[in-house]
């Protein structure tokens, strides 16, 4: 069990590392998501074949999963865009509002009752978000895009809660990755004409982009997801949900560590010079993370239903 718990924390650490990879990569966000989903689709297809799992499904169901994949693409594009527009820490602080978004969307889409404690925790999150925004006024755009990305991720999670009941996790994610890749390809002509300032698509890799992309798609997506699915079969839903909520904590800690190494001259990482934050940022982030971590504890204390963790798609 100790080995499983350590492995789960390692996976959450990898998911927190994705924002840092987004900062290191030179490929623009839209092209970056294209490469990530293409490589992830190939990797997941190999896993499906290696495990001899059935991948063919009726056309109607396939279209539904591919459409959800378009939502995944939108979430990842906004996530990596937020990391470029602001610091990694601000991006992850905005992404930590995922629990707030989920508490708002679940009653609307799943027709469940509104939970009073979620409203209270949501108010704490709003106060934290206000403190973060006031402390980092020059990064408001990145924070806003990150909050939007969290909303898209919450919508994806709520929809997946239904789909996971009828599709095995690996096959489900393969179709969603493929749908994300196809949606980006269909978006390319419009994007190239109106959003690239006449430069066209920038699909070429530069420097260490090949390494960061392989880590992002192979390790942080395919490996982390397939391993998390196996762990969810042995660990309790409560333990999984509580650990996954630590993702922004791990990510912010790693970004701060890279900033410190850069300032000490031990690592050349000019992309992370924005990671020095005002006191208000850390206070606001602390409130947001507190509301996220306390959620499963309050739910268990009130004997609320302990839901099965939906295999999370890494950010």
pLDDT at 228 over 60: yes
- What pLDDT, on the 0 to 100 scale, is given for residue 216? 93
Residue 311: pLDDT band by 50, 70, 90 thresholds? low
Q: Return d(Cα 133, Cα 138) in angstroms, integer.
A: 9
The predicted pLDDT at position 307 comes to 54
Q: What is the CB-side half-sphere exposure of residue 154 using CA atoms within 13 A?
A: 23
- Cβ–Cβ under 8 Å, residues 281 and 137: no
pLDDT band at 303 (very low <50, low <70, confident <90, very high): low
The answer to whether the predicted template modeling score (pTM) of the entire model surpasses 0.95 is no
Q: Which contacts qualify for 136-140: CB closer than 8 Å, 24 or more apart?
A: 136/86, 136/87, 136/90, 136/277, 136/278, 136/281, 139/85, 139/86, 139/87, 139/90, 139/274
Residues with Cβ within 8 Å of residue 15, at least 6 apart in sequence: 220, 224, 244, 247, 251, 312, 314, 315
The predicted-structure confidence for 229-281, as pLDDT tens digits, reads as follows: 778 778 776 677 778 778 888 888 899 899 888 888 888 888 888 888 888 88
**Statement: residue 296 has pLDDT above 80:** no
Residue 315 — very low, low, confident or very high, per pLDDT cuts 50/70/90?
low
Q: Where are the domains of the chain?
A: 2-301
What is the per-residue pLDDT across 96-134, written as a single tens digit (0 to 9) for each? Answer: 888 788 888 888 887 777 778 888 888 888 898 888 888
pLDDT in tens, 164-216: 778 888 888 899 999 999 999 999 999 998 888 878 899 999 999 999 999 99
Question: What is the CB neighbour count within 10 angstroms for residue 194?
Answer: 8
Give the model confidence (pLDDT) of 126-166 as tens digits.
Answer: 898 888 888 888 889 999 999 999 999 888 888 887 787 78
Torsion of CA 260, 96, 144, 178, to 10 degrees: 100
Higher pLDDT, 300 or 315: 300
**pLDDT in the model for residue 28:** 93
Q: What is the pLDDT of residue 310?
A: 54
Average pLDDT over residues 38-43: 93
């Amino acid at each position: 069990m100790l080995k499983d718990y350590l492995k789960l924390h390692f996976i959450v650490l990898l998911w927190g590392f994705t924002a840092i990879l987004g900062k290191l990569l030179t490929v623009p966000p839209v092209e970056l998501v294209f490469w990530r989903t293409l490589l992830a689709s190939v990797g997941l297809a190999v896993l499906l074949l290696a495990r001899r799992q059935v991948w063919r499904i009726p056309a109607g169901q396939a279209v539904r999963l591919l459409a959800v994949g378009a939502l995944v693409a939108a979430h990842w594009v906004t996530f990596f865009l937020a990391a470029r527009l602001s610091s990694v820490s601000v991006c992850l602080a905005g992404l930590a509002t995922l629990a707030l978004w989920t508490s708002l969307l679940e009653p609307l889409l799943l027709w469940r009752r509104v939970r009073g404690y979620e409203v209270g925790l949501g108010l704490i999150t709003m106060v934290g978000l206000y403190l973060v925004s006031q402390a980092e006024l020059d990064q408001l755009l990145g924070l806003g895009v990150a909050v939007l990305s969290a909303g898209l991720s919450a919508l994806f999670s709520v929809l997946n809660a239904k789909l996971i009941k009828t599709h095995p996790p690996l096959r489900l994610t393969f179709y969603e990755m493929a749908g994300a890749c196809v949606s980006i390809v269909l978006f390319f002509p419009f994007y190239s004409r109106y959003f690239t300032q006449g430069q066209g698509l920038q699909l070429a890799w530069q420097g260490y982009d090949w390494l960061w992309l392989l880590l992002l798609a192979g390790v942080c997506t395919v490996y982390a997801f397939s391993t998390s699915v196996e762990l969810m079969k042995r660990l309790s839903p409560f333990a999984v949900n509580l650990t996954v909520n630590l993702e922004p904590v791990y990510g912010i800690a790693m970004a701060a560590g890279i900033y410190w190494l850069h300032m000490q001259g031990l690592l050349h990482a000019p992309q992370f010079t924005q990671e020095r934050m005002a006191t208000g940022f850390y206070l606001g982030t602390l409130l947001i993370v507190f509301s996220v971590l306390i959620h499963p504890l309050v739910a268990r204390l009130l004997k609320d239903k302990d839901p099965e963790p939906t295999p999370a798609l890494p950010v």
